Structure 1
Amino acid sequence: MCGIAGFWRYSVGQSNDWLENTASQMANTLVHRGPDDSGTWVDSEVGLALGHRRLSIIDTSDAGHQPMVSADGRYVITYNGEIYNFQEIRRHLEKLGHRFRGHSDTEVMLASFIEWGVGSSLEKFNGMFAFALWDRQERKLCLARDRIGEKPIYYGTQNGTFFFASELKAIKVHPEFRPKIDRDALASFIRYSYVPSPHSIYQNIKKLQPGCILFVITPSDYSLPQPYWSLEEVFQAALRDPFQGSDKEAIEELENRLKTTVKSRMVSDVPLGAFLSGGIDSSTIVAMMQSQSDRPVNTFTIGFHEQDFNEAVHAKKVAEHFGTNHTELY
């Protein structure tokens, strides 16, 4: 998990120091999302600043530092997430002549944008992500979010400045942002105990909806979110062409897909593990992880002293069955 933040303001002429310090202040409110590294990138000619807080998972070297500039210098990205099929995409790009200085998925994303453009690249990405991409050639900012919306991103304009961030607190610390409560959003919060998408608790600040891309032409001129993927269309396609195999074949297909999916999530340059409750979902994931690992998987359970709520005993049995390196926390 990483944190991204930034802004684009009409009033140009601000010094690089002011832009960098402001972007850094925004990003540093997200240190809990990315404690390992931080960075900023600014363009004082247009009044744009990008900030990043990094949790290093893949390519922990400086070659994975963000914000990152593409090899041709056209694109700059600040990005939160993981592209699970980045190695496959990288091999394809290398055949097309692209060369890489590190092995991060961020660098692969930038090369994809160079080769295929943003829209076509998004269709190729299998992952969880939210990113802001500055096109230095077109002088256009692009925000995008993964298909299901695992990674958050907020955006909006106030007083001639366009803001974006992983969390509202990063926008709130910008010296030109004035937090005004959206009364309709407040009413929804009181009614539902959350603020429904695409709204936020603040006026003029929205959540980018899952599976959407947003193009920002100027700080006060940006497109409506454009979907690049639709869950409804996926359902409709499945109804038109349903699975035709037997129950046994369906079970085998499900297991193969689960294994493939879990394995793609296990790509990491640092130790990884799984939360284990002992229920069907987490036990299935741990089973798939352990079957594809050459060492005991790290599993963690949070137990409760109140026995009615404590699932640690079930998790322990599952851990013993699969031979994981298990830890209980109370």
Structure 2
Amino acid sequence: MCGIAGFVDFAKASSEEHLRSLAAAMADTLTHRGPDGGDAWADAGAGVALGHRRLSIQDLSPAGRQPMHSADGRYVIVFNGEIYNFRDLQQELAGLGHSFRGHSDTEVLLAAIVQWGLPQTLPRLLGMFAFGLWDRQEQTLFLARDRAGKKPLYYGRCGNNFLFGSELKALRRHPGFEDEIDRDALAGFLQHSWVPGPRSIYRAIRKLPAG
């Protein structure tokens, strides 16, 4: 497993270095999920930053590092999980003219999104995953999980920031995080010993539904 985190700062008042360091700090709370290294990327003009902690499985080379950019530069992704049929997709995409720098399923996913678009790509994926995808052309952040919801992903709007991450601790690391407890979620926890989705224990934060 890996760890992902990121945010969009709608105020767009911070430097790229500050945004990147903050995304890295959020991701570093997830080192137990990705002990093999970490990195972060930011675009100050858009106010967006993405962070990743890596557990190397498919591609141990630098070509598998994240955040990863699509070959055309339009998309940036942080991905957690595994796409079981990525080699079949890679073969199909190679037949359509795509080339690949490494051997990771994340790179194949990006090529698929470039080729078919995100809505058409998601139904093709077999696996367990959660990811955040920034579209630099449309200035839009997309979040997605697999159909079974095997990989966790939390998100929420806190003031001028939209936050997301694999675990709540990553979101809590952001200085804009709002820690008001959701009383209904707390009641659910006391009843079930866990917080039923889509709520989290925090009022501003939700669990992204499966699918």
Deviation of 1:10 after TM superposition, in Å, equals: 1.2
1:54 corresponds to which residue?
54
Q: CA contact under 8 A between 2:178 and 2:204: conserved in structure 1?
A: no
Deviation of 1:207 after TM superposition, in Å, equals: 0.3
1:184 corresponds to which residue?
184
Opposite residue 191 of structure 2, the aligned amino acid is R
- Going by fraction, where is helix more abundant, 1 or 2? 1
Give unmatched runs, 5+ long, in structure 2: none
The DSSP-based 3-state class of the residue aligned with 1:36 is: coil
Deviation of 1:53 after TM superposition, in Å, equals: 0.2
1:151 corresponds to which residue?
151
Q: d(CA) in 2 for partners of 1:30 and 1:64?
A: 18
Q: d(CA) in 2 for partners of 1:188 and 1:135?
A: 36
Q: d(CA) in 1 for partners of 2:93 and 2:166?
A: 29
Give unmatched runs, 5+ long, in structure 1: 212-330
| TM-score, length basis structure 1 | 0.63
Opposite residue 150 of structure 1, the aligned amino acid is K
Aligned residue pair count: 211
Greater CA drift, 139-148 or 171-180: 171-180
1:133 corresponds to which residue?
133
C-alpha distance after superposition, 1:95-129 (max 9, x if no partner): 00000111100000000000000011111110000
C-alpha distance after superposition, 1:40-76 (max 9, x if no partner): 0100001100000000001110000000000000000
2:23 corresponds to which residue?
23
Opposite residue 67 of structure 1, the aligned amino acid is P
1:45 corresponds to which residue?
45
Asked whether 1:116 is paired with 2:116, we answer yes
Opposite residue 183 of structure 1, the aligned amino acid is R
Moved over 6 A (4+): none
Q: d(CA) in 2 for partners of 1:204 and 1:176?
A: 11
Q: d(CA) in 1 for partners of 2:60 and 2:161?
A: 33
Deviation of 1:178 after TM superposition, in Å, equals: 2.4
Deviation of 1:30 after TM superposition, in Å, equals: 0.2
1:73 corresponds to which residue?
73
Deviation of 1:20 after TM superposition, in Å, equals: 1.1
C-alpha distance after superposition, 1:295-328 (max 9, x if no partner): xxxxxxxxxxxxxxxxxxxxxxxxxxxxxxxxxx
Root mean square deviation, CA, Å: 0.6
Deviation of 1:175 after TM superposition, in Å, equals: 1.0
Deviation of 1:37 after TM superposition, in Å, equals: 1.3
The DSSP-based 3-state class of the residue aligned with 2:42 is: strand
Q: d(CA) in 2 for partners of 1:110 and 1:46?
A: 20
1:316 corresponds to which residue?
none
C-alpha distance after superposition, 1:172-211 (max 9, x if no partner): 0111112111011000000110000100000120000111
2:206 corresponds to which residue?
206
| TM-score, length basis structure 2 | 0.99
Asked whether 1:98 is paired with 2:98, we answer yes
Deviation of 1:13 after TM superposition, in Å, equals: 3.0
Larger Rg: 1
Superposed, which structure 2 residues align to 1:259-274 within 5 Å?
none
C-alpha distance after superposition, 1:80-101 (max 9, x if no partner): 0000000000000000000011
Deviation of 1:16 after TM superposition, in Å, equals: 1.4
Q: d(CA) in 2 for partners of 1:203 and 1:174?
A: 16
Q: d(CA) in 1 for partners of 2:139 and 2:8?
A: 11
The DSSP-based 3-state class of the residue aligned with 1:201 is: coil
The DSSP-based 3-state class of the residue aligned with 1:198 is: coil
Q: d(CA) in 2 for partners of 1:37 and 1:189?
A: 34
Q: d(CA) in 2 for partners of 1:161 and 1:45?
A: 15
Q: CA contact under 8 A between 2:77 and 2:133: conserved in structure 1?
A: yes
The DSSP-based 3-state class of the residue aligned with 1:92 is: helix
Q: d(CA) in 2 for partners of 1:43 and 1:62?
A: 22
Q: d(CA) in 2 for partners of 1:97 and 1:17?
A: 36
Q: d(CA) in 1 for partners of 2:7 and 2:83?
A: 25
Answer 1 or 2: higher relative contact order, Cα 8 Å, separation at least 6: 2
Q: Matched residues, percent identical?
A: 58
Q: d(CA) in 1 for partners of 2:178 and 2:155?
A: 14
Superposed, which structure 2 residues align to 1:248-267 within 5 Å?
none
